[in-house]
Chains A and B, each alone.
Chain A
Amino acid sequence: MTATTTAPVAATPVRTTRPPSARLRAWATRAPLLPALIFMIVVTQLPFVATLVISFFDWNALYPDARKFAGLGNYQEVLTDADLRHSVWTTVLLTVAVVLASLILGLVLALLLDRKFKGRGVVRTLLIAPFLVVPVAAALLWKHVLYNPEYGLFNGLLHYVGGPQPDWISNTPLLAVEASLVWQWTPFMMLILLAGLQSRDHEQIEAARVDGASDWQIFRHLTLPHLRRYLELGALLGSIYIVQNFDAVFTITSGGLGTANLPYTVYQSFYQAHENGLASAAGVLVVIGSIIIATFALRVVSSLFREEVSRA
């Protein structure tokens, strides 16, 4: 199942009245595309269809003989199960908080980096680095090296100023996961917004400055409207990646303390509880959520894309 309404290329109608050589040429043009297209359909679309089918069955892998058709029973169970409902809510909370925080931080950093100053290249490199730490390694770093209540860096630094020594992960588990993700995703947002800032019309800004516009007025009336679609793009791509986050939740809290999001719940319900039907229903729900986000994302990308094509 895909989020677009577009048909695959094979749907191009070939008129039978056309001479065979033209049809041959059309296939010759199409041929380089087919391996990639067929590969994608087989590897990504078929498993989802299977998930959809399994989601209608009551099927625990430990009792394979008891498999039977359940209709919408699994969906009913997923939507009424308190834990699962909670994981839906956690997913929303996690995604929205991380995307918003990293977007705002990313915007601040992009604005700072858009100015010329000594060592700008070095600062840019320092800022990209968190995004280039393997996600599992980043999660381990935050969990053990930074958050640890006894010898973590945070409490170590607090020690110097005589601050409290909180147990970060136990006190604020979801926030702890979110902070580590914000750290990793801010560089991503910064890069997209910086590209947006650098594609501004500098003559227009100069003209506004000559006319006596203040920095704030320029930001509010020229920069922000121009950045709008880059902000949207960052938010939507970020959402797509963070909705699916598994590494941080798995590593930092193992889904405990109310931090289990949908991907973790799906993983757990079939990998540990062997509830194939329930896991599939939850998986289908993740997809429906993603399709809603993706429809917006595709619209943004396609508007940027069309502008690109028309400019060329």
Chain B
Amino acid sequence: MSSMAVRLRSRRKGAGLGLVAWLLGIAFFLPIAWMALTSFHSEADAATNPPSFAASLTLDGYREFFGAGGGASPWPALINSAVASIASTLFVLVLALPAAYALSIRPVKKWTDVLFFFLSTKMLPAVAGLLPLYLFAKNTDMLDNIWLLVILYTSMNLPIAVWMMHSFLAEIPVAIIEAARVDGAKLPTILTRVVAPIALPGIAATSLICFIFSWNELLFARVLTGVVAETAPVFLTGFITSQGLFLAKVCAASLVISLPVLAAGFAAQDKLVQGLSLGAVK
């Protein structure tokens, strides 16, 4: 067999596998595409069998979700989620940045032990501390208070952030920092002029991942909030109590509530693995 024939065959095989990849990609995306399409259908068209692919499009599902049909408005829940996610992410940054500095650029003794202590807290399941937290919140009138969630989400994401930031800061060559110091730069200058520019993309990715985890959280929010501090996922679980058809409405709601996560996730795509594997995989 000539080498050209071999190359041709391997190219054909490559194209075949590319097609398989495309098909699998579409299969995995299909539920989301169907959810998006259904969200633009009327309730009657959404609940047919066989499915009506070509039914006329309408924004009724979205109108219903935003309270046009007399249901509860989702805005308080969306705002609560935004507050809990953004505030906890800011707290995480304030706590994690100095900690990561003390674990990478000017490491303390036994810094690996400290790093693994942070990681081990991540492996403690949330349910383990749920009851005492509930009792504590009840006795201190913190139940149904969004700031309790902010504190808990901070603790949930801090280990991830410390690990990620550590791996980003560790990539900064010590020589650059030393050179700046020799040139007479003080610590604040070194931090803002040398460290920050290099670490900024990593800090941004870390923030987005912390935001996603906080936005998604259900168990704490479900147990520790009620009417006032209800977050978007809790709102979503309580959404399907009404009678009648609700498919288009649910699809619209799920899509709207997932939108921030999809946006943050795609923005952080390149660093997503590193964050999810707690910095173990680059």
Enumerate chain A interface residues (CB-CB to B < 8 A).
1-4, 6-9, 11-12, 26, 29-33, 35-37, 39-40, 43-48, 50-51, 54, 108-109, 112-113, 115-120, 122-138, 140-142, 144-146, 148, 150-151, 153, 155-157, 159-160, 183, 186-188, 191-192, 194-196, 199, 230, 233, 237, 240, 243-244, 246-247, 250-251, 262-263, 266-267, 270-271, 276, 279-280, 283-284, 286-287, 290-291, 293-294, 297-298, 300-302, 304-305, 308, 312
Contacts and interface: CB of A to CB of B under 8 A. Distances in A.
27 contacts: A2-B117, A6-B114, A9-B109, A9-B111, A29-B107, A30-B108, A36-B162, A40-B117, A50-B135, A51-B131, A112-B21, A119-B18, A133-B32, A137-B233, A144-B250, A153-B51, A155-B49, A188-B276, A244-B127, A246-B218, A270-B131, A271-B223, A276-B131, A286-B125, A287-B124, A298-B123, A305-B280
Interface in B229-274: 232-233, 236-237, 240, 246-247, 250-251, 253-255, 257-258, 261-262, 265-266, 269, 272-273
A11 B114 CA distance: 11
For the complex of A and B, the 3 pairs showing the least CB-CB separation, nearest first, are A117-B18, A47-B129, A32-B98
Contacts of B20: 112
B101 to A, nearest CB: 5
Task: Give the interface SS of chain A, mostly helix, strand, loop or mixed.
Answer: helix
Given A6-B117, A115-B18, 15 more contacts: A2-B121, A3-B124, A26-B108, A33-B108, A33-B114, A47-B136, A112-B18, A128-B266, A132-B261, A134-B233, A136-B216, A145-B250, A196-B281, A233-B277, A308-B282
Category for how many chain B residues contact A: 35 or more
Contacts of B216: 134-136
A127 B25 contact: yes
B65 interface: no
Given A40-B118, A136-B218, A270-B134, A2 B280 contact: no
A74 B28 CA distance: 44
A140 B250 contact: yes
B200 interface: no
B170 A30 contact: no
A294 B117 contact: no
B108 A134 contact: no
Contacts of A286: 125, 127-128
A3 B269 contact: no
A194 B31 CA distance: 23
B128 A137 contact: no
B219 A263 contact: yes
A29 B108 contact: yes
B171 to A, nearest CB: 9
A7 B113 contact: yes
Contacts of A233: 277, 280-281
Contacts of B116: 4, 6, 298, 302
B102 A192 contact: no
A35 B99 contact: yes
B140 interface: no
A186 B31 CA distance: 14
Contact of B265 (A124, A128, A160, A279): A128
A126 B26 contact: yes
A276 B47 CA distance: 43
Contacts of A130: 28-29, 31-32
B119 interface: yes
A141 B250 CA distance: 8
A281 to B, nearest CB: 11
Contacts of B117: 2, 4, 6, 8, 37, 40
Residue of B17, B250, B254 with most chain A CB atoms under a 10 A cut-off? B254
Contacts of A187: 28
B214 to A, nearest CB: 11
A109 B24 contact: yes
B202 interface: no
Residue of A1, A8, A131 with most chain B CB atoms under a 10 A cut-off? A131
B121 A35 contact: no
Contacts of B134: 270
A33 B125 contact: no
B178 to A, nearest CB: 16
A195 B48 CA distance: 42
B237 A136 contact: yes
Interface string B75-114: 0000000000000000000011011011100111111111
